[in-house]
Chains A and B, each alone.
Chain A
Amino acid sequence: MKILVCISHVPDTTSKINFTEGDTKFDTNGVQFVINPNDEFGLTRAMWFKEKQGASVDVINVGGPETEPTLRKALAIGADAAIRVNTPATDGYSVAKQLASVVKDGAYDLVIAGRESIDYNGGMVPGMLAKLTDANFVNTCINLEIEGDNVTAIREIDGGKETVSTKLPLVVGGQKGLVEESDLRIPNMRGIMQARSKPLTVKEPVAVSPETTTASFEKPAPKGAVKLVDNVDELIDLLHNEAKVI
């Protein structure tokens, strides 16, 4: 089984979010970038398929050279090879088109992406990629088992979960549950050393026109200070008369 894991290069969750150039660009100054958490659960599940079922695992990112350390980290965790499509990630559709081209050329059986990236939260790349490559698609996937071509997956739904069956080729929008937090791997020294000599191929992009363009960013209006109350009567009164939520 050939697996491709999509790796978004995103600001660490504790990063301060600021914008620059007249609020048109994300300010990367002082920001630490990491593997998108939803992607990391998928990567770790892919490692399981590699170790237990002999799958090969490639990782991919669409972005500039600045994303390579994040791909190297995925290699250090255990991926076999990395691909970087050398173009800025403009909108979800363009990213999906770039990935689709690589998926078709590489004849991947399974693509695992996060259900959404924690920066733009679009949650559209996995579904678009599935549609563009005629693969089956399971979103918000929290459990994935594969035997031959047969897939059994559990996906989270509002208020519960459901089990689905399908076949490869498949694209998965993954999240926590594919593996648990405690299963995530911190790269060890051996992994980091090996990652240096693993292949990281830079591919030139295919021609795509974006479908959406972000004009500007805004930060939420600053929040007023918390109103501290001494007793529950006062709280109930405020929730009823002031906030009007009960």
Chain B
Amino acid sequence: MVLVYTESEEGTFKKIAHEAVSYAKGIADMMGTSVTAVSVNGGNSEELGKFGASKVLEISNDKLSKFNADAYADVVAQAAKKEGASVIVLTSSANSKFMAPLVAVNLEAGYVANVTELPTNTSPFQVKHSVFTNKAFAITEITTDTKVIGLGKNAYGLKENETTATTEAFSPELASEDFSVNVVSVDKATDKVTIADAEVVVSGGRGLKGPENWGMIEELAETLGAATACSKPVSDMGWRPHSEHVGQTGKPVASNLYIAIGISGAIQHLAGINSSKVKVVINNDPEAPFFKAADYGIVGDAFEVVPQLNEKLKAFKAQNA
């Protein structure tokens, strides 16, 4: 049985929950078994059936209203034991990565993170995962009876697989040790697309000359429904908040489209955005290393190209809406 943790926010499943179920179904098919989803104060369980879950363990508990890695890991481990799961699928969200090692130790399960595709083999159980910050892949065998897999960001996509999901209320035993790290406050912009969830990311670099010029980046992002990001020097100089810094020591980006504006493309930056599917670069320096890593490029002045692009995209969106 393949168990999948389905992440939700305020009673709605996230897109990565759908992706994780799609992926879990792919593994279950390889192994000739079924998928059970674990939903903590989650959304409508029928949704998960659409992507291949045949059973949903529904946990409804006020103590779990805020994410808590110890408690959530305990819930997933108890669900895995109850269901006799041989594979547990988690994602690469900040919360998943926080709890995955705790789940793995609890279940004495081998854990591999950043998995990029379905297992290459299920006996022995081998998975491909990205290493060296996206500069290479490794094929790794998990040798324990129970396996924990962290699916890479945007690695599998959504695959519909209409299944009728039965639901079952599940009340795990929570211990006081599960609540020894407590959330005091959360500071989160709810009106903005996050870099982690974004399908499109618009990113600006030093070529924009100053924080006062970010208006056009934000406008372009709004047109595209994109998240805004920046290069390391831009966050180091305080032009933009650290939370927007993408790259090796910043946030990783795995969007469908990444638009780099006025970013030269230092190797540390490229390492962090490499798993984006399509990369566009706009830079006035044709020698900028980013052009070697990009799919499409415009050599030109960002201050001319970006407003033009925004206007034309608005017209395009209006036409194709």
Interface size on B, residues (CB 8 A): 90
Interface size on A, residues (CB 8 A): 81
Say whether A245 contacts B277, CB under 8 Å.
yes
Chain B proximity of A131: nearest CB distance (Å): 4
B294 interface residue per 8 A CB criterion: yes
A230–B186 alpha-carbon span in the complex (Å): 45
A207 interface residue per 8 A CB criterion: no
B31 interface residue per 8 A CB criterion: no
B236 interface residue per 8 A CB criterion: yes
A246 interface residue per 8 A CB criterion: yes
Are A163 and B133 CB-contacts (below 8 A) given A214-B138, A235-B296?
no
Are A240 and B137 CB-contacts (below 8 A) given A92-B111, A226-B295?
no
Say whether A233 contacts B312, CB under 8 Å.
yes
A91–B178 alpha-carbon span in the complex (Å): 27
Q: Is the interface of A mostly helix, strand, loop or mixed?
A: mixed
B93 interface residue per 8 A CB criterion: yes
The residues of B that contact A136 with a CB separation of less than 8 Å are 180-181
Q: B interface vs A, CB < 8 Å?
A: 67, 69-70, 93-95, 97-102, 104-106, 108-114, 126, 128, 130-144, 180-189, 192, 194-197, 199-200, 224, 232, 236, 242-243, 245, 248-250, 256-257, 267-268, 271, 277-278, 280-281, 291-299, 305, 308-309, 312-313, 316, 320
Chain B proximity mask over A197-226: 1 for CB below 8 Å, otherwise 0: 000000000000011111111111001101
Give the residue among A140, A229, A235 with the most B Cβ atoms within 10 A: A235
A49–B105 alpha-carbon span in the complex (Å): 30
A216–B140 alpha-carbon span in the complex (Å): 7
Say whether A239 contacts B139, CB under 8 Å.
no
Closest 6 CB pairs of A and B: A127-B101, A160-B188, A211-B110, A159-B194, A158-B196, A131-B105
Chain B proximity of A48: nearest CB distance (Å): 18
Are A245 and B257 CB-contacts (below 8 A) given A226-B291, A239-B296?
yes
Say whether A236 contacts B114, CB under 8 Å.
no
Say whether A211 contacts B243, CB under 8 Å.
no
